[in-house]
Amino acid sequence: MEGLGHPDVKGFPSSIKVLPFLELERLGHSADPDLTGEVPGPDDLAIIMYTSGSTGVPKGVMITHKNIITTANGFATVSAGLMNTELFMAFLPLAHVFELAVENFFLAMGIPIGYSSPQTMTDKSTAVKSGCQGDASLLKPTIIMSVPLVLDRIRKSVLEIVERKGDFAKAFFKFVIKYKLWWMSKGFRTPLLDRIVFKSVRQLIGGRLKFVASGGAPLSPDTHDFIRVCLSVTTFQGYGLTETTAGATTMACRLSLFLIILIVRSSVQIMMHT
């Protein structure tokens, strides 16, 4: 990309030529219009997705177009309630298959995607200047896909704010969390508590959040309960592999009563074609 400096090409092979982006665009406009390439088929390779190596030696998984579309289709089947008024805040790396599948799904659904990072997500994030707003405050997302580490950070941020208010506030906050959890276990809501106590906590993530999905590693029960209580959101965890294009199984929740059957079905289809 054009800039004030020049790109460092030390170590590049002599066969590599570095072009400014404007030059690349000029070459594209002047290219033969008949050179449109080939339309990929379902079984053609879409991407080689490398695993993180958390369960063994990292390896490249060959994922076809059908693998990705099948996973996105599994998500679409159970998301009839989602509308284009929703907003997905993306902050996980596309170098992981979970985020790749999710973003393809939201693009296909016509749901806007706002891009963030774990360091700029909230007003209290490490890369946000004091007094400035984080990405969640600006985007006001309704859906996020996360990993346990990020949800643990959100929990830590909330608890740090409460602790600064003194021992009474800390004890009271702990009590209302247990109180709300008890009523939720009975199938009831706590609208008064949500408005008086938890509304300010919801504002940390923009105030409109509805659904939080977590994957990549086990989410601790304490953080799971904390997030769904304090943010008043549907929170569920999923499990999958790079080899199954992320989708494999998920816990039951009111958003996804059919998700277990449908994603397992899509995973079987994926494995049959890999």
Closest to 224 (Cα-Cα) out of 213, 240, 239: 213
Which tens digit of pLDDT belongs to each residue from 79-123?
667 888 899 999 998 888 888 988 988 988 889 999 999 899 988
In a domain, 61, yes or no: yes
Residue 172 lies in a domain: yes
Q: Which residues of 168-190 are buried (b: 16+ CB within 10 A; e: fewer)?
A: eeeeebeebbeebeeeeeeeeeb
Q: What is the mean pLDDT of residues 33-53?
A: 86
pLDDT in tens, 202-246: 998 999 999 998 888 889 999 999 999 999 998 888 888 888 888
Which residues constitute the domain of residue 110? 42-272
Q: Assign residue 176 the CATH number of its domain.
A: 3.40.50.12780
Percent of the chain at pLDDT exceeding 90: 39
Is residue 5 in some structural domain? no
261 vs 147, higher pLDDT: 147
- Residue 59 belongs to a domain: yes
Mean pLDDT of the chain: 85
Q: 257 pLDDT band (50/70/90 cuts)?
A: very low
**What confidence tier does 269 reach under pLDDT thresholds 50, 70, 90?**
low
Does residue 24 form part of some domain?
A: no
Q: Is the residue at 153 inside a domain?
A: yes
**Average confidence (pLDDT) over 9-33:** 87
Q: Return the pLDDT at 253.
A: 57
Overall average pLDDT of the 159-164 stretch: 90
pLDDT band at 247 (very low <50, low <70, confident <90, very high): confident
Closest to 213 in 3D by CA, of 257, 263, 148, 137: 148
Instruction: Tell whether 265 is covered by a domain.
Output: yes
What pLDDT shows up at residue 262? 43
Report CA 266 to chain centroid distance, whole Å.
Answer: 20
Does a structural domain hold residue 18? no
Name the strand (E) or helix (H) holding 238: strand 234-239
Give the chain's domain count. Answer: 1
Q: Can you read off the two tokens belonging to residue 122? A: 């909230």
Which residues have CB under 8 Å from 158's CB, separation 6+? Answer: 201, 204, 226, 230
Q: What is the pLDDT of residues 163-176, one digit of tens each?
A: 999 999 999 999 99
